[in-house]
Amino acid sequence: MDAVLRSPAAQALVSRYGTKTTTAVAREVLERAREEILAGGEPEVSEESVLAEATNILAGRGLRRVVNATGVVLHTNLGRSVLSKRAVEAAVAAATSYSNLEYDLASGGRGSRYDHAVPLLAELTGAEDALVVNNCAGATLLALSAVVAEAATEAAGEPEVIVSRGQLIEIGGGFRIPEVLALSGARLREVGTTNRTRLADYERAVNENTRAVLWVHPSNFEIQGFTESVGVAKLSTLGLPVVADVGSGAFFGIGGEPRVEAVVAEGASLVTFSGDKLLGGPQAGMAVGGSYWVSAMRRHPLARALRADKLCLAALEATLTAYLKGTARKDLPTLKMLHAPAEEMKEKADRLAEKIAHAAPELAVDVASSVARSGGGTLPLYEVPSYAVRLESGSGRVEAVAEKLRSVDPPVVGRVGEGKLWLDVRTLLDGDEDAILEAVGNLVG
């Protein structure tokens, strides 16, 4: 091991990743080789092979550009929404210069980061006030915590929040609404059944300990068949604060997803949603609604722990401005991908297939109709017609081809099906076609 680490190639890795990390990964590679030998295999074990494998492992552990050819627009594992050019420029400007993040230019005194993006969100949603935090789960937790604290009464019982059993969802990473609700300090009071909940169920559950009603849009699944649910407008007649988590943050009608401004108009006290889903902006959580309740959120101690940074706020403001200017579908990559016509995807796939066939005649290449999806915990049943270039290798398993394309720089990630590697062109960005051609060239070269 010492001899391996003294080589020039190893020192290059050490200078980039550090001695401990490089040593640990090299030992990991050797341990894999040892296990393979014990199993009867004959792996190559040399200084060159160990360092080559270690380099691949280390390169894969850093945050880097990836070509998304999966057809999943808001791919959570690949970073969800891609920022627009204007959003990137705004974030760069905030990162490379000072800003009025918490400075009031009019008075010359201290300002508040919680004031940024508020006018834009109020204009777009029709809400009285707004607040931006680091993600939607944080926004929902803060909203519930603030409402529970603000709506405190003299009752001695434990505070309760009512929610339908059909809305006790689990979001990405194993986070569950009941667990988020528990952190707010309130007890969950479930009403209705998994598939049917009526207004009368909510009415019977209201008591002196009730602080609020939580309405959650099940954005990552859909129950069909014998179902019934209660909308925000009817819940608002109960005389209690209604916190509505719409999740995906749609401002355009798509796939039946509730639009944020519509839920605000139905009377919700607070509406929470994400910035990096159907909105097409940076990771953020937004709460819009009545000024009384938003002010309560600002005052809550959790607000500081969940606050958004200047890069997020700058990119978010640029994203929201595109909606106000009416250029969102043209400027925001997420919306462009979701709304581009299938005919355009067919032309794009045909061009790419022709180039791949010319660059790598050893591969079998064809174009097939495909189904792209929104992803990211949104529109679970919504299908977007698309086209994909399919690769097939006559000399090996298609999984091996997919693995090799993931090992190049930048990695190309597609999906395997029907014995072929599908490269869906709907999620390709500018420059991705060139990266695919270079990756394919390395594959057969």
* Planar angle of CA 196, 144, 284, nearest 5 degrees: 100
Note whether 201 and 191 are within 8 A (CB).
yes
The third-level CATH classification (topology) of the domain covering 67-81+336-444 is Aspartate Aminotransferase, domain 1 (3.90.1150)
Token readout for 284 is: 């953020």
Cα dist. 149→135, 142, 145, 153, 272 in Å? 21, 11, 6, 9, 18
Distance CA 391, CA 441 (A): 13
Condensed to tens digits (0 to 9), the pLDDT of residues 120-175 reads 999 999 999 999 999 998 999 999 999 988 876 555 578 899 999 888 877 665 66
pLDDT at 293: 96
Question: Residue 353 CB: number of other CB atoms within 10 A?
Answer: 21
Least confident interval from 58-67, 95-104, 283-292, 356-365: 58-67
Cβ atoms 158, 211 nearer than 8 A: no
CA distances from 65 to 244, 400, 409, 431 (A): 35, 21, 8, 12
* Mean pLDDT for the chain overall: 88
DSSP for 52-118?
HHHHHHHHHHS----EE-SSBTT-GGGTSSPPPHHHHHHHHHHHSS---TTB-TTTSSB--GGGTTH
Higher-pLDDT residue of 28 and 284 is 284
Buried-exposed string 202-228: b where 16+ CB fall within 10 A, e elsewhere: beebbeebbbbbbbbbbbbeeeeeeee
* Residue-wise pLDDT tens digits, 260-295: 999 999 999 999 999 999 999 999 999 999 999 999
Count CB-CB contacts under 10 A for residue 172.
12
Structural contact between residues 273 and 262, judged by C-beta atoms closer than 8 angstroms = no
Architecture of domain 85-328: 3-Layer(aba) Sandwich (3.40)
Query: What is the DSSP code (8-state) at residue 250?
Result: B
Residue spans of beta strands (DSSP E) within 339-430:
364-375, 378-392, 412-413, 415-417, 420-424
The per-residue pLDDT for 79 is 94
CB within 8 Å of 50: residues ≥ 6 apart: 4, 26, 29, 30, 33
With a pLDDT cut of 70, the percent of the chain lying above it is 89
Gap between the Cα atoms of 209 and 188, Å rounded: 11
What pLDDT does residue 337 have? 96
Could you tell me the residue ranges of all domains in the chain? 2-61, 67-81+336-444, 85-328
The dihedrals phi and psi of 370, each to the nearest 5 degrees, come to: -140, 170
Beta bridge partner(s), residue 383: 373
